[in-house]
Structure 1
């Protein structure tokens, strides 16, 4: 069952088809830029379309003349009360009240599926997010990207895409050798040796149980032995243990990936060599030297022969090395091959990266463009770090981690839903403060509370109706007044908000919308403070009560649907 905005867009399309059939418009007009949305000023109507503006040039008609051609078809629609032309050719439409009442019933009928879209058409989208180095527990630096990525994946799936959630394990670089050496220290400690973690290794207590497990499995076999005998083994064991920990940390946020791809496994399978060979065959790999660094050249800089990718041909600032002078892969070389492998099984790639990786965006985009011939779009969403505060003061570091606040500590204190919602209350690329005191505050200034309170308020109405002994008839939605229909009009925007957020790749739009919806609901609720006749529950007006409960239920349904996209459970009651 289509929603109101979708039906109006379909009606508009049919009117355009009629003008084509009549010879008023050419048949090959590109209609993709046509929008149907609420006008900025509600006094102008309920819906506005730019159809005449965007089609006029190709139709070789003045925008206003095209708008005048569309006007009779619009006014003839059953759901349209009036239509008018504004400015150079915008069309404003006011709908009959029954159109909004019908949408309220549609929300109830569709329930959890209200807002679900076929926009994606089943296209395969790979969303890679988190991908933290497997060297320790998750910390709050990872949290925001994890939530943004997971919410985006959920949003895209709801909008009709076939989504794969992926985690890339960076288990082939120098950091995992450091992890292995750190685990070996804890292994010796578990066997009774007094140790002191040297600078450059990971000091966190999270490696203590890893060392104990290694001691239980191998005894003193690798005590005093050269690194060559145990490094590879300890690296594998430690990475496996860290990934168990990371998966558990992510599960605390309700995050579960479909695929975990290993950098080491890709290299072992020859994937990196295959990707580089493909580029070489296309003349995009060569042996050469990089330009000297811009500005003052360091004293120790000297040109070195490297294997380079012609990234500059695909929008990057310069060519990039895929192999080091010693023949090993650069991080970019391995990453290039990984993205080639992903592109082979997806129609679109999206990566969620920390803002500190902004400098590498162009080179990976260049690589994907070269390897796919530009057929697989690749987008990177940059996420800014989160500053942790408590009552406005910076939070001290975690003893367990050795240097940072763990995600598990934060979730344990304030809960999964508060963390997830808060991470989506600002654009991903905007700075964020996470204040432990503010995120649990019961006030309008706390979006988490304000939206949850709206849902809980609505849920309380049915309990209170039973307690008051109100015998509710079938809801007569004709009893809803103009102010109540304003709330319906806002609720009816949810499907278009979902599609717009999916197209932009911005799940925070759902949080913003829910806050506006909650604010409008609370305002409607509060009018009963001064006028008992405007309360949701009126004991001697069961008919009006039933209509207002139907409205409240619909708002609750929208809030639940929106929160579900954010990975947040709706509160049944507030304590």
Structure 2
């Protein structure tokens, strides 16, 4: 039902007889898209522009021949040439009403892609298990979740995964912080929390639980004895808190992968990954040039075990084993990718904070080295979110305990505004989140505007029922009932609806869920606009008792709008309310 893909195939079919003898046409760059200006028609193609050189023709001359061929298409009303060779097409009104019937017949499967056979792993959030989720994690959580939803709707086999960073020094710091709260729960005076430990009150329940389980038996033991015990309990408690926070946001993962498992058996799985890469010629002993600017953590001025990642697109080779024999953090990343690849995934999506931009090339290089190009790493970077309340910035600091948690934001404004607004900018652009603006009921608040459009559709259905009109099932026999639609606003709405399947495919492939939020806002604007036209022109009202047959057709249009709004909001993870108060 992707009309753009359909007409792209029609254009290619029209061009095929025009290919000069002895030559082959390269159609890879041929595209059919909505024209930038709706006044130019319904569809535009660059076919003549990108094929002319291979045909040894001027673009406009080739365009004239393509136009002549497309003129025989029964669904095209007019076709013309613009500028140096772009081709614009206007479709017959009957095509649009027929497409509307197909949309209604497909229902909430409209835009859903056929199974692709691709297995995709989307890893997102993966916050250190050292405290509750704060608003800085929220954007990545929503972006990753909607990337996964879009991919699944587009036909991919998707697994949502959380990587638990439970093997680094930060979890030892967590354990020491929890041990302090354990002593406090036993009645000891702990004073001010020492610098470098986590001071948040969220660790008090962990300390109380430790006191209940172990009484005072951990006191007096050497740190090497109590730290592993406290660390395990603290990480478990933090992950339970994180799962609860994510659930408030409507985010769930199928897999929680422990980094520590890669280090079990003295790093056995990491060693296996390095051995595999060594056998492929990607691992060697050597030294690296000093980094320009700031010295990175894993650089040493002596021989190390290195990944020859420059051979697969990286800026520099990367350390895997330090001169001391300890594995680098990157070595665990290598083993983790290999684990995913062995689980059968062909694409690994990493949703990362903007401060992880340096990881992009190295992860892409790891994918090529391990899979030989059979699998790829796709990194999505999320910029920071700035919180505002009453025009004043809201500060947050995880170490000081002075931060706004994800749960607090969701509880104050609701899940739907949080999810929608986290997508209302491209993920690699900074985002300002204003508590007041995301809850106001106005067209300037996109989540309200979109949800109100769905509620307005439900209100129109109630109005139709009161007028004694019923909405038929618009299957193939219902096409005739829709033929009465012909107003420019009605056809414009159908055109906007017809963009949805293409939008889904593009947003899923590009890993850009903001496109969906923007589209829904545009669709809502078109629907509200047509509704308001009916206020001024009664003949355009969706429900008009003097025009029962036309009202039935228009109710079909409203049902189509409601269907796409419902599917789009569901993919974002927001509700589609039938009433708004």
Deviations 1:338-357 (A, max 9, x none): 12222332111211100011
- Report the more deviating stretch, 49-58 or 487-496: 49-58
Quote the residue 1:71 is aligned against: 67
SS of equivalent to 2:129: coil
SS of equivalent to 1:184: helix
Q: Aligned partners of 2:484, 2:338: CA distance in 1, in Å? A: 59
Instruction: Decide whether the 8 Å contact of 2:197 with 2:399 is kept in 1.
Output: no
Instruction: Decide whether the 8 Å contact of 1:266 with 1:272 is kept in 2.
Output: yes
Q: Aligned partners of 2:12, 2:438: CA distance in 1, in Å? A: 45
TM-score by length of structure 1 reads 0.92
Q: Aligned partners of 1:296, 1:550: CA distance in 2, in Å? A: 62
Shift in Å, 1:390:
0.9
Matched, 1:56 2:16: no
SS of equivalent to 1:294: coil
Quote the residue 2:452 is aligned against: 453
Deviations 1:268-323 (A, max 9, x none): 1622111112223334333333333435999xx98344322223333333322222
Q: Aligned partners of 1:377, 1:25: CA distance in 2, in Å? A: 39
Deviations 1:160-179 (A, max 9, x none): 21112111111110001111
Shift in Å, 1:499:
1.4
165, 171, 179: which one pairs with 2:166? 171
Distance 1:246 1:490, change over 3 A: same
Distance 1:213 1:401, change over 3 A: farther
Quote the residue 1:478 is aligned against: 483
Shift in Å, 1:75:
1.9
Quote the residue 2:475 is aligned against: none
545, 549, 552: which one pairs with 1:546? 552
Quote the residue 1:224 is aligned against: 220
SS of equivalent to 1:189: helix
Quote the residue 1:343 is aligned against: 341
Shift in Å, 1:380:
0.9
Shift in Å, 1:398:
8.9
The aligned length equals 568
Shift in Å, 1:215:
2.0
- Report the more deviating stretch, 259-268 or 169-178: 259-268
Give the alignment of 1:165-564 within 5 angstroms.
165-196=160-191, 197-268=193-264, 270-294=268-292, 303-344=301-342, 345-395=344-394, 397=396, 402-470=401-469, 476-480=481-485, 481-564=487-570
Q: Aligned partners of 1:296, 1:349: CA distance in 2, in Å? A: 30
Deviations 1:405-457 (A, max 9, x none): 11111111111111100000000011111110010111111111111111111
Distance 1:88 1:303, change over 3 A: same
Shift in Å, 1:4:
3.2
Instruction: Decide whether the 8 Å contact of 1:155 with 1:502 is kept in 2.
Output: yes
SS of equivalent to 1:127: strand
Q: Aligned partners of 2:438, 2:227: CA distance in 1, in Å? A: 44
Matched, 1:40 2:36: yes
Matched, 1:113 2:109: yes
Structure 1 gap segments, 5+ residues each: none
SS of equivalent to 1:104: helix
Quote the residue 1:154 is aligned against: 149
Structure 2 gap segments, 5+ residues each: 473-477
Distance 1:563 1:297, change over 3 A: closer
Shift in Å, 1:533:
3.0
Distance 1:30 1:466, change over 3 A: same
Shift in Å, 1:535:
2.3
77, 84, 94: which one pairs with 1:81? 77
SS of equivalent to 2:483: helix
Instruction: Decide whether the 8 Å contact of 1:456 with 1:571 is kept in 2.
Output: yes
Q: Aligned partners of 1:256, 1:27: CA distance in 2, in Å? A: 53
Shift in Å, 1:32:
2.8
- Report the more deviating stretch, 221-230 or 318-327: 318-327
Matched, 1:127 2:132: no
Distance 1:242 1:31, change over 3 A: same
Shift in Å, 1:485:
0.9
Q: Aligned partners of 2:437, 2:149: CA distance in 1, in Å? A: 27
Distance 1:258 1:57, change over 3 A: farther
Instruction: Decide whether the 8 Å contact of 1:287 with 1:308 is kept in 2.
Output: yes
Q: Aligned partners of 2:555, 2:35: CA distance in 1, in Å? A: 28
Distance 1:10 1:208, change over 3 A: same
Q: Aligned partners of 1:402, 1:534: CA distance in 2, in Å? A: 58
Instruction: Decide whether the 8 Å contact of 1:176 with 1:235 is kept in 2.
Output: yes
Distance 1:450 1:124, change over 3 A: same
Deviations 1:142-187 (A, max 9, x none): 0001100111111111112111211111111000111111121222
Poorly superposed stretches of 4+, deviation over 6 Å: 398-401, 471-475
Q: Aligned partners of 2:470, 2:317: CA distance in 1, in Å? A: 75
Q: Aligned partners of 1:296, 1:43: CA distance in 2, in Å? A: 54
Shift in Å, 1:486:
1.1
Shift in Å, 1:85:
2.9
